[in-house]
Amino acid sequence: MEKRKFKRRHLIFYLRVIERESNAVLGFLVDITTQGIMMMSEFPTEIGKTFHLKLLTDAGPQGEKFLEFQAVSKWCERSVNTDFYDTGFELIDINPDDLQGIRQTIAESGFNDWIR
- Residue ranges covered by each domain of the chain: 10-109
Q: Classify the C-alpha dihedral 74-90-41-85 as positive or negative.
A: positive
Residue-level pLDDT at 66: 83
For residue 56, give Cα distances in angstroms to 59, 79, 81, 82, 102.
7, 23, 24, 26, 11
Domain 10-109 superfamily per CATH: predicted glycosyltransferase like domains (2.40.10.220)
Using alpha carbons, select from 55, 60, 62 the residue that is nearest to residue 36: 55
pLDDT tens, the chain, 116 aa long: 455 555 555 444 568 899 999 999 999 988 888 899 999 999 999 999 999 999 877 766 776 778 899 999 999 999 998 999 999 999 998 888 888 888 887 777 654 443 33
Residue-level pLDDT at 111: 41
